[in-house]
Chain A
Amino acid sequence: MPAAGRTYWLTEPCRIRREDNSIRIERPDGSPVHIPITDIRDLIAFDHIDINTSALSLLSQNGITLHVLDHYGNHAGHFTPAQSMASATVVRRQVDITANPQQRLTISRSIVLATADNLRWSLDTDLLDPALDQLRTALPQCDSNDALMGQEGNLRRTAWAVLDTQLPPWLRLNGRTRRPPTNAGNAFISYLNSLVYARVLTALRSTPLHPAIGFLHSDTDRRRNTLALDLAEPFKPLFAERLLKRAAAQKHLKETDFETDVGRAALSRNGRKKIAALVKEELATTVYHRTLKRQVSYEELIHLEALKIVRLCLEEKTYKPFRPWW
């Protein structure tokens, strides 16, 4: 998604107001910030925000999504414009493809495999190779999404154990936990995963696809946007695991950036800010795209991934999930 505004990360408690046709963000300290509405693509609220209907309707008119993350970094919800880009033709094809078990399974399988490869790439170690080989042999035999998810879970467990060897003791995961995450490492991963999910959802909103009709994740259990969860999968290693490794290696994160309790951990306000800066920088990182023949940011890679699904729906082009080529 080139041009047309940028993402604003609201890391501090603030109040969002409408002033004529622009947005005024009032922070507890200092003077308010004025942002022209055309400069906003979406807003991500990390902390408490106050917003009123006139501001919301302005956001809606301009097609801006507001994402809300809760205290633990889970994606608590989002506000999206009433008018969406959805197209009946595309959604019908999407339903057809996902209703066909064979086609659905092929796509799920390729997502799981790509995610595993990306994990291996982001951890940059051959300790994961035996587990990967095992996954490769097991995948063709899996004949349901549950079996696929099980295989993915196995690989993920191994990968997190490997990741632990590359981290300082206080940041280790010691087994993945969610809702709420139990330690600092898990809190970090949860946070990043929901950020990636929010980015994918925004990307999907700019395409005619329906975010709830997906391939890999089951679409009944948690009533989430299945397609967004699916497409987030191959990108998670690129952001979550890799940034955790980097933050640890550069001693960028401190223990004080987390609020650790018995059995639960969350990022402190300062930690949230640090991570927002980290992710923002990461999303803006560019690589050369070989067929587009230009630099694309990681953010745009997510958008291009969503377009692949549109291509699958409109032209039956095979979906090849994202793999880093650099």
Chain B
Amino acid sequence: MNPHEPTADPLGGVHIKYLRHCPRQLWLYMRGYRPEANSDLVAFGEVVDATTFTRRRHVDLGEARIDWVTAGAVIHETKSSRTPSPAHEAQVRHYCLLLERRGINIRGGILHYPLIRRTTDVPWNDDARTQAEDTETEAHTVIAAPTPPERLTRSKCRGCSYLDYCWGN
């Protein structure tokens, strides 16, 4: 293996979210380019996280940080977005998978969108497990690639903190 390539670490929620949004973003993230600190949207997300569901405690798994877990092992995730997206569900499914591997009997997940006051259920069954495992393999494939995936079309890059890097030539 090329010594310059990052080794396969356990994946967290961010990895899955990035993979679903844009594989290139995940590739760059794994190689240490992380411009999120300068992003307004990321800062906004942090504020939403800090000001909603404040009585709940984060569950830190090391590689991932789950927003909170309630009785019967239901995984909760808060999103500052106003539009539910498949990336969010994939992230929750990944958390389910991580917890299940630790021997916990998972019932499912719930996505919270406090800005639109909606929740979305994410079921956990054999189907979801296969999906989660596929996503994980896909992420590892992207990360191991020697060259970055192509960037998306310009219009899909709106709001991404990697936009300056990808398009500023």
Instruction: Determine the chain B residues whose CB is within 8 A of the CB of A287 once the complex forms.
Output: none
Please tell me if the beta carbons of A4 and B169 are within 8 angstroms of each other in the complex. no
> When the two chains form their complex, are residues A3 and B31 in contact, meaning their CB atoms are under 8 A apart?
no
Q: Is the CB of A87 within 8 A of B168?
A: no
Q: What distance in Å separates the Cβ of B158 from its nearest Cβ neighbour in chain A?
A: 10
Residue of A nearest to B163 (CB): A292
**Chain A CB within 8 A of B148 CB:** yes
Within 8 Å of chain A (Cβ to Cβ): is B154?
yes
Structural contact, B168 and A304, CB atoms closer than 8 A: yes
CA distance A311 to B165 in the complex (A): 8
Report the stretch among A88-96, A100-108, A133-141, A179-187 that lies at the interface. Answer: A88-96
B47 → A minimal CB distance (Å): 10
A 289-326 binary contact with B (CB < 8 Å = 1; else 0)? 10111000000100110011011001101001000000
Give bound CA distance, A314 to B94, whole Å: 28
With both chains docked as a complex, state the minimum distance between the C-beta of B3 and any C-beta of chain A, in angstroms.
8
Interface 0/1 of A187-218, CB less than 8 Å to B: 00000000000000000001110000000000
Tell me the bound Cα distance from A312 to B24 in angstroms. Answer: 16
Complex Cα gap A207–B37 (Å): 11
Known: A4-B40, A314-B28. A85 touches B34 (CB 8 A): yes
Of all chain B residues, the one with the shortest Cβ separation from A3 is B40
- Chain B interface bracket (under 10, 10 to 19, 20 to 34, 35 or more): 20 to 34
Contacts of B6 in A (CB 8 A): 89
CA distance A317 to B39 in the complex (A): 25
CB neighbours (8 Å) of A293 from chain B are 154, 167
How many angstroms between the C-alpha atoms of A4 and B33 in the bound complex? 17
With A87-B32, A207-B33: A291-B148 Cβ-Cβ less than 8 Å: no
Per the bound structure, the CA–CA distance linking A300 and B169 in Å amounts to 13
Alpha-carbon gap, A2 to B165, bound state (A): 12
A93-B168 contact in complex given A4-B40, A86-B32, A87-B33, C-beta closer than 8 Å: no
B41: nearest chain-A partner, CB-CB: A3
Contact: B39 with A314, CB < 8 Å? no
Chain B residues lying within 8 Å of A292, measured Cβ to Cβ, are 163-164, 167-168
Q: Could you tell me the distance between the alpha carbons of A320 and B169 in the complex, rounded to whole angstroms?
A: 8
B10 in the interface (beta carbon within 8 A): no
**Interface check A1, CB cutoff 8 A:** yes
Assembly CA distance A92 to B3 (angstroms): 10
Residues of chain A at interface, number, CB under 8 A? 32
Cα distance, A206 to B148, chains bound together (Å): 21
A311 to B169, CA, bound (A): 9
Any B CB within 8 A of the CB of A63: yes
A4-B43, A208-B33, A314-B33 as given contacts; A291 in contact with B168, CB under 8 Å = yes
Could you tell me if B38 and A1 are in contact, using CB atoms closer than 8 angstroms?
A: yes
Residues of chain A within 8 A of B43, CB atoms compared:
3-4, 38
- List the B residue with the shortest CB-CB distance to A85: B34
A87 surroundings in chain B (CB, below 8 A)? 31-34
Is the Cβ of A315 less than 8 Å from the Cβ of B37?
no
Verify if B55 is at the interface (C-beta below 8 Å from A): no
Minimal beta-carbon separation of A80 from chain B (angstroms): 14
Contact bitstring B30-53, A, C-beta under 8 A = 1, else 0? 011111011110010000000000
A303 to B169, CA, bound (A): 12
Contacts of B148 in A (CB 8 A): 314-315
Query: How far apart are A273's CB and chain B's nearest CB, in angstroms?
Result: 29
Q: Please give the distance in Å from A317's CB to the nearest CB on chain B.
A: 7
Q: With a CB–CB cut-off of 8 A, which chain B residues contact A89? A: 4-6, 31-32
Residues of B contacting A289 in the complex (Cβ-Cβ under 8 angstroms): 168
8 contacts between A and B (CB under 8 A): A4-B40, A85-B37, A87-B33, A92-B3, A208-B34, A291-B167, A292-B163, A300-B164
Supplied contacts A208-B33, A304-B164, A308-B168, 4 more A-B pairs, CB within 8 Å: A4-B38, A85-B34, A291-B168, A304-B168
8 tightest CB-CB pairs across the interface, nearest first? Answer: A87-B32, A304-B168, A208-B32, A3-B40, A89-B31, A4-B38, A291-B167, A1-B38
A: residues with CB less than 8 A from B are 1-4, 38, 63, 85-90, 92-93, 206-208, 289, 291-293, 300, 303-304, 307-308, 310-311, 314-315, 317, 320
The residues of B with any CB-CB pair to A shorter than 8 Å are 3-6, 28, 31-35, 37-40, 43, 147-148, 154, 163-165, 167-169
